[in-house]
Amino acid sequence: MERLTSKQKIDLNLKIRENTPLKPLTTIGTGGPARFFLACASNEDIIEGLQFAKSRGLKVLVLGGGSNVLISDDGFQGLVLHVTTRGVSFDSGGRVTANAGVKWSEFVQSCIDRELSGVETLAGIPGLVGATPIQNVGAYGQEVANVIEAVQTIEKSTLLPRTFSAKDCRFGYRQSRFKADDLDKFIITSVTFRLSQTQEPEPRYEELKASLGLDPAWQTATRVQRLNLMSAHVTKIRASKGMVIDPRDPDTKSVGSFFMNPVVPQPLKEKVEGIAAAEKLVRPFVAHHVGNNLWKLSAAWLIESSGINKGQILAGAKVSTKHVLALTNPGHASTKDILDFADFITTKVEQKFGVRLEREPVVVP
């Protein structure tokens, strides 16, 4: 491949770097370098980067916070666009627009500071705003699909802006058009949310209810105080599972939850329930009805009940010591090590229960 000269870089007025390590830009710390790399502080940078890639026939990878991605050990042989656009705007009616490069945790807190509800249980989730619509980020009873009003994008093929309404995004459980039919077709530049100025925050999950129930401040708290308490307790719970990025905690050197909770038809749910009853497993079997004779099962329960333990090691990869849903890089793991361990777990679960687990992170070949 043709190597850029210094003159070409100046002529393009772009700060394109070559053979740039990507490990430091991912939370799991694996993967090879980018052949070409551009930090994009504006939408104009994104467009110019796309023009550069198109003129040279390069593939493009958009990288945000690196919290939900596994990059090949061979690296990426095209152009990596590292989105760093910042800025959040609020109107008087609860509408909030945030650029794609805004840190999600900072965005959540800024909404709480303005007494807006709708994202408080999504506190502590790593990554950037631009990534949240792609997999419809959700936790403890809230999903971004419930509060997104519009998603602004740049279409890669035309370099033109295009806006999608929430309905047009085709959101599903950890799913959207940007992760399915339109994978790799658009670059999200900003997201507009419609949050509530009056809705009272109420915990929906038992784990969160239990945590708040032990806090004497919860019962007498005002609405604004409850927003902050909800966020704080969610973050505390996530941290206890190694799901809040902390350089001091090796369990957070991961991509977060590696597997999605599977949604299965009634007969398969009954099969799993029967196996659980016959084996008298220590952890009780729990399934949540989601309609149309479909049931959501716990991926963590399936993994543990298949004989996978916290702290278990295979080659260079390790299961988190806090939560079996997370695969970690304890030191010098490769992306292949992580994926091999994931395949091992998937096979164990399928052999025992007949349930096929789906991965949550994006794998970049």
Q: Which residues are catalytic?
A: 174, 257, 360
Q: In whole angstroms, what is the distance from residue 39 CA to residue 156 CA?
A: 17
**Pairing status of strand 69-71 against strand 362-364:** parallel
Sheet containing 294-297: which strands, arranged edge to edge? 263-265, 294-297, 287-291
Q: In whole angstroms, what is the distance from residue 319 CA to residue 322 CA?
A: 8
Distances in Å between the Cα of 198 and the Cα atoms of 114, 116, 145, 203, 237 are 12, 8, 19, 16, 26
Residue written as tokens 């303005």?
A: 114
Q: Is residue 229 within 8 Å of residue 212, measured between CB atoms?
A: yes
Q: In whole angstroms, what is the distance from residue 239 CA to residue 143 CA?
A: 20
Q: In whole angstroms, what is the distance from residue 269 CA to residue 261 CA?
A: 13
Q: Is residue 16 within 8 Å of residue 36, measured between CB atoms?
A: yes
| Burial class for 149, CB neighbours closer than 10 Å (0-12, 13-18, 19+) | middle
Q: What angle do CA 44, 125, 40 make, to 5 degrees?
A: 15
Max distance between CA atoms of the chain, in angstroms, equals 71
32-50: b (≥16 Cβ within 10 Å) or e:
bbbbbbbbbbebebbbbbb
Q: In whole angstroms, what is the distance from residue 169 CA to residue 225 CA?
A: 33
Cα(first)–Cα(last) distance of the chain, in Å? 19
